[in-house]
Amino acid sequence: MRFAVIGNCQTGTFADALALYFPGAEVVRHGTGNPATAERADAIAAELRGFDRVFAHPEVNERLGPLRHKQLRETHPETVFIPTIAFNGFQPDCIYLSDSRGGLGSPLDVYHSALAAAAFTLRLDEARTAALFNAMVFSRLGYFEDHAKAAGAMVAHFRRMGIEIGDRLPLWQRHVAFMYTINHPRSVVVADMARLVLRKLGHDLPELTDASDVLGEPLSRMPVFPVYPEIGRRLGLPGHYLFRNVIRGEGPIQVMDLAGFIAASFALYRAMPERVTEAVERHPRAKPVRDTLATLLRLG
C-alpha cells in the first residue's frame, strides 16, 4: 500500500504509525512547515493520485495552494482529514506571542510564559515575578480549571472530525502528561489517533498501549514546557520547573530553571518592550493574566 501524509510536525509520528500498523507499506510525508512543500505544492498535488490513501491536516495557509483543505476536498475527495492536536491543560501558562509585526521569539524557541510576559509589562522584576508562580496565583488565573476545559475542547474537536476520544484521555495520561508543549503530543497520542482513524476506515488494528519503544519520541527533541508542580499535583502527575530547549546535534541539553527562564525572557523583552506590551494586550490568555495580576498587586 502507498500512503501520503500532509500536515504539521505532528504528522511525522502519524506517518511512522502508518508504517507501524502496515509493515512494508510505502509512506510519504510532506511537512507543511517545510518551505519545499509549498514550493512543490502543485507537483505534490498531482502525485497524490498515485496513492492508495491520503491523510492530511485541514490546512488553510495560502502558500500551500492546492494542498489546502478546500482545494484537496475538491480535487482529491478521498482525502482523509485528521485532527490537529492542541491541548493546554497541562501547561496553561504556555503561549505564543505575536504583535502586528509577527511572532516574538522566546528563550524556549517560540514558547512564552503568559505570567512572565504579563509581569514584565507590569514592570515587575525577576524575583517578584518568580514569586508569583504559586498555587494561589494559579488559582486566581484559572489555571487549575484549564485541564477540564482543554479536555472538553479536544474531545469536541475530534468528534467534529468523526473520532471519539473521550475514553482515551485517561489512558494517555495515566503516568505522565501526554503533551510536551501545547501543540507537541507524545507518540502514544498520535499512534492511538492513527489507529482510531484507520478503524473508522474499516481496518481492525490491535490497540497498542504504548508504542513509543518502536516509534520513539521525535517531538521530544523540540522544546519541553514543564508541568508546574502545583498543577501536576492536582492531576496526579509529576511536575517541575525545568524548561528545556530544542535538542540540536550531539551537544548537552540546554535547561533553564524558573529563575533562569524568567531572566532570559526578560532579557529578550527589554530589547522590545513595546512589542511585548502590544503582544500581551492582544493575546486572549496573556491580557486576562495581566489584568488579574494588576488587581492582585493593586497596580495600574
> Helix crossing, 286-297 with 114-121: angle to 10°?
60
56, containing H or E segment: strand 53-56
Query: pLDDT class for 142, splitting at 50, 70, 90?
Result: very high
**Given the DSSP bridges, would you call strands 80-81 and 26-31 parallel, antiparallel or unpaired?**
unpaired
Nearest CA to 224 out of 201, 256, 265 is that of: 256
Does 118 have pLDDT greater than 80?
yes
- Across the range 148-153, mean pLDDT stands at 98
Q: Exposed (0-12), middle (13-18) or buried (19+): which is 116, by Cβ within 10 Å? A: buried
Closest C-alpha among 11, 32, 21 to residue 82: 11
- DSSP-derived secondary structure letter, 174: S
Domain edges within the chain: 2-82+185-217, 94-146+222-297
pLDDT at 210 over 80: no
Q: What's the farthest any 2 CA atoms get from each other in the chain?
A: 64
Q: What's the average model confidence in pLDDT over 58-66?
A: 90
Neighbours of 35 (CB within 10 A): 10
Q: What is the mean pLDDT of residues 36-63?
A: 94
pLDDT of residue 273: 98
Closest CA to 182 of 90, 117, 249, 120: 90
What is the spatial distance between Cα 189 and Cα 86, in angstroms, rounded to a whole number? 11
Of the candidates 102, 65, 107, 61, the residue with the CA atom closest to the CA atom of residue 84: 61
Is 243 within 8 Å of 116 (Cβ atoms)?
A: no
**Looking at residues 146-174, what average pLDDT do you find?**
96
DSSP code at position 105: P
| pLDDT confidence band for 209 (50 / 70 / 90) | low
Q: Is 27 helix (H, G, I), strand (E, B) or coil?
A: strand
pLDDT of residue 206: 78
Task: Report pLDDT for 99.
Answer: 98
Which grid coordinates belong to 46? 498531482
Average pLDDT over residues 59-82: 92
Compute the Cα dihedral for 51, 56, 58, 62 and give only its sign. negative
Q: What is the pLDDT of residue 299?
A: 62
2-82+185-217, CATH topology level: Rossmann fold (3.40.50)
* Predicted pLDDT of residue 180: 98
Q: Which helix (H) or strand (E) covers residue 43, if one does?
A: helix 41-47
Q: In 10 A of CB 194, how many CB atoms?
A: 25
Instruction: Answer for the pair 227, 197: CB distance below 8 angstroms, yes or no.
Output: no
- Per the prediction, the chain carries an average pLDDT of 95
What's the whole-model pTM score?
A: 0.94
Categorize the per-residue pLDDT at 250 as very low, low, confident or very high, splitting at 50, 70 and 90. Answer: confident
Other beta carbons within 10 angstroms of residue 272's beta carbon come to 15
